[in-house]
Amino acid sequence: MSDAYTRPTNDEAAATAALPNFAPAAGDEPSLTEPAERRTWSGDLRFMLVVLAAIVALFLAFALLIAFSPTGAAISALAIIAAPIATMVAAYYGISLALRQVKDARNAAEASEARARAAEQTARESDAWAAQMESGLRVAVAKLKAGAQDTRDVERAAGTPNDFF
C-alpha cells in the first residue's frame, strides 16, 4: 500500500490528500520559444528559400532570353529550364507538407495518449477518494447505530439505496 492512501492526521491534510487535483500544471501550456515552434519557422524559412532560389533562377533565365533575342527556340529553351524548376518546387512543397502532417499527427497522438494517462490517473484517484468517503460513511453509520441513534437522515443525505448498509 502506498503513502497516497494513508489516513491524514488533520482536516487540512485530509482536504489536500483526499481530493484529486484537476487543475493543469503551470508548465502545461506551450510557449512560443519551444524548439517545435523554432523548427516550424525553420521549415517555413527553408521553403521560402527554395521558392526564392527558383524565382531567381527563372528571372535569370528570362534575363538571358531577353538579352539574346526572344526567338521560338529561346522560348522553348526557357520552357525546358522552367519546367524542372517548377516541378522541384512543387515536389519540395508536397514532401514538406506531408512530413509536417505526419509530425502533427504524431504530436496529436502523443498529446492524446498523455491526456488518456492523466484521465486514468484522475479516475484512479477519484475511485480511491470515493472508496474513502464510502468507508467513512459506513463507519459513521455504524457508530450511530452502535450509539442507538437513528441513521435514516444520514442515509438519505448520502443518497444511498435502502439495502446499502
Instruction: List pLDDT tens digits, range 123-158.
Output: 999 999 988 888 888 888 888 888 888 877 777 777
Which of 31-35, 36-40, 71-75, 119-123 is the most confident on average?
119-123
- pLDDT above 60 (res 25): no
Task: Supply the pLDDT for residue 142.
Answer: 85
Percent of the chain residues topping a pLDDT of 70: 73
160 versus 29: the higher-pLDDT residue is: 160
| Look-up of cell digits 490528500 | 17
Task: Supply the pLDDT for residue 34.
Answer: 58
What is the average pLDDT across 42-59? Answer: 80
Q: How far is CA 10 from the centre of its chain?
A: 38
115 versus 24: the higher-pLDDT residue is: 115
Closest by CA position to 85, among listed 48, 56, 45, 114: 56
The mean pLDDT of the chain is 76
Task: Supply the pLDDT for residue 14.
Answer: 45
Give residue-wise pLDDT tens across range 94-128. 888 898 899 999 999 999 999 999 999 999 999 99
How many angstroms separate the CA atoms of 157 and 125, rounded?
A: 23
How many angstroms separate the CA atoms of 81 and 60, rounded?
A: 11
What is the average pLDDT across 72-100? Answer: 84
91 versus 32: the higher-pLDDT residue is: 91
How many angstroms separate the CA atoms of 116 and 78, rounded?
A: 57
- pLDDT above 50 (res 18): no
